[in-house]
Amino acid sequence: MAIPSFVDRATLLAVAGKGGDGCASVRREKFKPLGGPDGGNGGRGGSVILRVDPQLTTLVDFHRLSVRKATSGQAGKGDDQNGANGDDIVLAVPDGTVVSDAESGEVLADLTGAGAEVIAAAGGRGGLGNTALASSARKAPGFALLGEAGEERKITLELKVVADIGLVGFPSAGKSSLIAAISRARPKIADYPFTTLVPNLGVVVAGDTTYTVADVPGLIPGASQGKGLGFDFLRHIERCRALVHVIDCATYEPGRDPVTDLDVIEGELKAHGGLEDRPRMVVLNKVDVPDGAELAEMVRPDIEARGLPVFEVSAKSGQGLNALKFAMAEIVAHTRKEAPEPEAARIVIRPNPVDTGGKDFTIARQGDGEGGFLWRVKGEKPTRWVAQTNFSNQEAVGYLSDRLNRLGVEDELLAMGAQAGDSVAVGGQDAVIFEFAPQVQSGAELLSRRGEDQRLDHERPSATRRREEDREYHEARDAYGVVGRDPEGRSWRARLAEEQAGEQTDEF
């Protein structure tokens, strides 16, 4: 199937990179065994960013490739080396792109203006190494935290053309011919309805004013309710500074006349909403046709009585086009002057806070009590902590237990009637289930007391051996006076061994 050159609506799956895992390492130097933790932190995962590029006019790139993934952060290393951050992916989108969540429909950002950007999917944070986890209570952690997964979000991109002037009217009213006559745009032109299926943009120069004109595909009665392609067409005129009605004065369709056409299109614009404050002009097109010129002269007073400026033009012969160009330029210059100065602001997504009653977690009881209850602990912090925990490391599990206890999870479970042996599920969809054992030190405490490392509290074998040798040396020196080698070259250890062997022989 052929891929269209113009796409104004696309769906994108943005997958951010995972954060790198932290490193659990111990510094090793000569004469300094167990020199302290030196594991670095993991790098941040790359984010997927949408940024406005004024040179683009279509979303066709996302139609061809609808999945974009950022790279993950690297894991930390020993010697306090942090992992490298993942590379962000910056995706260029046209000016006027509306970004919304594909599942909820919530509008995330409305990108207008060169350089405007939004983070579609944020990269995961890197895990902390054991250097960052060390404290006065836990001097040498034997574990590190895992990196967090990056966001994965399905978003909808919708393009709303940004133009100064929007041409509206019935199909085959001559809008494409008009924009081709006043600019260098070359849209497809034919004599059948809905020749134009996508908006066409043209740049018009009138004196010192340069402005853009959008040829919006034809509207029909019921367009505001979605008849024809009404929804797709009407959104492209929402950002236009002014609207120009292009009315066909040479149509042969029964029941149509310029005033009726104007009323129908105005009714659809009103039903769509949000366009009441836009300046309007009326262009009576195709006056090069004899009947068209006479009809234009007849209806012009009625239209001018509504306070609308009227221009009689012919896109084919060029009649009246120069006056129309300068009139549109005057409206554009006036609206630009009255418009407030745009503020260059960085668009940031701020998720709505979750109401948990002032707590960082919620607990719900499930089950009928036969065989014990299942207690579900949910919350942003517990879910994130579970994802950061390496459950193959008992000390890391103990650290998770410490964090949950400091948060007040154990006290809340006891207050709600949890009994020892009940199952406790912590986290969201990938919850981890524990057996509730209140006041029992676990995980890190299997090595020593909670938050400590018994390797620092017990003497190492090498230190014990050296201390024993030092004791023997001083005892020999006290016994022989001088500790060294005798004239025969024997050391004090050899003489001591001979004396001990002789004493054992005398006993027998």
Token pair for 28: 């090793």
Distance of alpha carbon 483 from alpha carbon 137, whole angstroms: 45
Residue 321 annotated as binding site: no
Residue 194 annotated as binding site: yes
Local structure of 208: helix, strand or coil:
coil
Residues in the chain: 508
Residue 287 annotated as binding site: yes
Residue 486 annotated as binding site: no
Residue 489 annotated as binding site: no
Distance of alpha carbon 77 from alpha carbon 255, whole angstroms: 79
CB 223 within 8 A of CB 268: yes
Residue 197 annotated as binding site: yes
Q: Provide the 8-state DSSP code for 249.
A: S
Residue 174 annotated as binding site: yes
Residue 249 carries which side chain, given as an amino acid letter?
Answer: C
Helices (H) and strands (E) in the chain, counts: 12, 18
Residue 315 annotated as binding site: yes
Residue 285 annotated as binding site: yes
Token pair for 157: 């991109």
Query: What residues have CB less than 8 Å from 214, skipping those under 6 apart?
Result: 161, 163, 165, 166, 167, 199, 200, 201, 236, 237, 240
325-328's contacts with Cβ under 8 Å and 24+ in sequence apart are 325/182, 325/204, 325/206, 326/206, 326/207, 327/281, 328/164, 328/165, 328/204, 328/206, 328/211, 328/213, 328/242, 328/244, 328/281
Q: Provide the 8-state DSSP code for 168.
A: E
H/E stretch holding 10:
strand 9-15
Count the neighbouring beta carbons within 10 Å of the beta carbon of residue 498.
11
Distance of alpha carbon 472 from alpha carbon 288, whole angstroms: 122
Query: What residues have CB less than 8 Å from 327, skipping those under 6 apart?
Result: 281, 309, 311
Residue 430 annotated as binding site: no
Residue 77 annotated as binding site: no
Residue 195 annotated as binding site: yes
Give, to the nearest 10 degrees, the angle between helix 461-480 and helix 492-507: 80
Residue 172 carries which side chain, given as an amino acid letter?
Answer: S
Residue 171 annotated as binding site: yes
Residue 244 annotated as binding site: no
Residue 286 annotated as binding site: yes
Residue 316 annotated as binding site: yes
Strand 242-248 to 165-168 pairing: parallel
> Please, what is the Cα angle at 308 between 201 and 188, to 5 degrees?
25
Residue found under tokens 């009637």: 417
Residue 301 carries which side chain, given as an amino acid letter?
Answer: P
Positions at the binding site for GTP = 169-176, 194-198, 215-218, 285-288, 314-316
Positions at the binding site = 169-176, 194-198, 215-218, 285-288, 314-316
Positions at the binding site for Mg(2+) = 176, 196
